[in-house]
């Protein structure tokens, strides 16, 4: 696809191929990998504004960045405008110039708390949250879905509201909340959002190849794309989409992630996380089902290293 810089309220992002915030996956080690393959902007995992308010160490750990990371954006969620603004103004987010507000998460726990995609059904509250966060002086992005359900689509109206409340960029996931991650994205709804605003619009949903990205841009007129699940299977997709000359070395990538994570997270968490990530990277390999079974049975980092050597020999 054709790449171009993106202006987020005066901050220039090098290209318009973003890596989505993915809870449980987009930690600092994975983001470093995505940047190395050409991602223009990466986001932290979803961070609870309330968790920051109550000094949750687990929440703060999500904010850790690799020394090589550039302007990674932080994604926060919540339903209280004052708490959301306080999070933006907190010392915890002092090093983040771009804050993304999650208004699209479909999981029941978040939805029932009136957060994430629930805000699609309460536009006045969503507007107050964006406006409050904007007062912090941060550059504000909003990620949202096309609606709560097929009969309650609000894409263009919600996009206008975001811009009016001060958002510098919006990302539209082209599915309703009830669809979760299934089905083809709704190109018409994303196109409607693009026509409704002047700020940059990033399109999210169903991007697994350069052809998918090309179609998304052609169908919607969006200013860029956001890659989600495809990056988990193959972070090299960012090189494919941006045209970066960066050959994939899966074994080296896995070992680098482990080495990045061990000093910060320790062996227990690193083992659990990297069993999961390595399993993703085996997709398409002969014997991948058996490899995944063995990966999840690994009970130490040394056992994990041994399996990695078998899966990805020199």
Task: Name the residues annotated as catalytic.
Answer: 105
Q: How far is CA 146 from CA 173, 212, 223, in A?
A: 7, 19, 17
- The CA dihedral of 11, 3, 181, 186, to the nearest 10 degrees, is 100
User: Which H/E stretch holds residue 139?
Assistant: strand 139-145
Q: Can you tell me the distance from the alpha carbon of 27 to that of 46, in angstroms, rounded to the nearest whole number?
A: 10
* CA angle, 180 then 186 then 187, to 5°: 145
Cβ atoms within 10 Å, residue 26: 24
Phi-psi region of 10 (alpha: psi -120 to 50; beta: other; left: phi over 0): left
Q: H/E/C letters for each residue in 225-254?
A: EEECHHHHHCCCHHHHHHCCCCCCCHHHHH
By C-alpha distance, which of 258, 253, 259, 262 is closest to 232?
253
By C-alpha distance, which of 256, 248, 313 is closest to 287?
313
Q: Can you tell me the distance from the alpha carbon of 8 to that of 285, in angstroms, rounded to the nearest whole number?
A: 39
Tell me how far the alpha carbon of residue 17 is from its chain's centroid. Answer: 11
Q: What is the DSSP letter of 73?
A: E
Beta-strand relationship, 6-8 and 11-13: antiparallel
């Amino acid at each position: 696809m054709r790449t171009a810089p993106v202006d987020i309220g005066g901050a220039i992002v090098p290209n318009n191929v973003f890596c989505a915030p993915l809870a449980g996956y987009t930690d600092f080690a994975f983001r470093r990998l995505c940047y190395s393959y050409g991602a223009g902007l990466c986001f932290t995992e979803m961070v609870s504004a309330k968790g920051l308010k109550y000094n949750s160490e687990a929440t703060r750990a999500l904010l850790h960045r690799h020394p090589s990371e550039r302007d990674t954006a932080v994604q926060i969620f919540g339903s209280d405008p004052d708490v959301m603004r306080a999070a933006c103004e907190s010392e915890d987010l002092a090093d983040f110039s771009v804050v993304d507000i999650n208004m699209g998460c479909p999981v029941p726990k978040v939805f029932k708390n009136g957060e994430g995609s629930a805000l699609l059904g309460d536009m006045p509250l969503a507007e107050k949250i964006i406006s409050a966060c904007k007062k912090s002086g941060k550059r504000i992005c909003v990620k949202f879905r096309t609606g709560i359900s097929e009969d309650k689509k609000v894409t263009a109206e919600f996009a206008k509201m975001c811009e009016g409340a001060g958002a510098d960029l919006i990302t539209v996931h082209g599915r309703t909340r009830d669809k979760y991650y299934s089905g083809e994205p709704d190109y018409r709804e994303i196109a409607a959002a693009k026509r409704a605003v002047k700020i940059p619009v990033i399109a999210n949903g169903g991007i697994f190849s350069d052809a998918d990205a090309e179609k998304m841009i052609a169908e919607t007129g969006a200013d860029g794309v956001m890659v989600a699940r495809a990056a988990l299977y193959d972070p090299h997709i960012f090189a494919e989409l941006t045209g970066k000359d960066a050959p994939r070395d899966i074994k080296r990538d896995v070992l680098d992630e482990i080495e990045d994570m061990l000093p910060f997270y320790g062996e227990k968490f690193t083992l659990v996380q990297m069993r999961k990530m390595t399993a993703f990277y085996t997709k398409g390999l002969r014997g991948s089902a058996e490899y995944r079974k063995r990966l999840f049975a690994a009970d130490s980092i040394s056992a994990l290293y041994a399996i990695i050597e078998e899966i990805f020999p020199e």
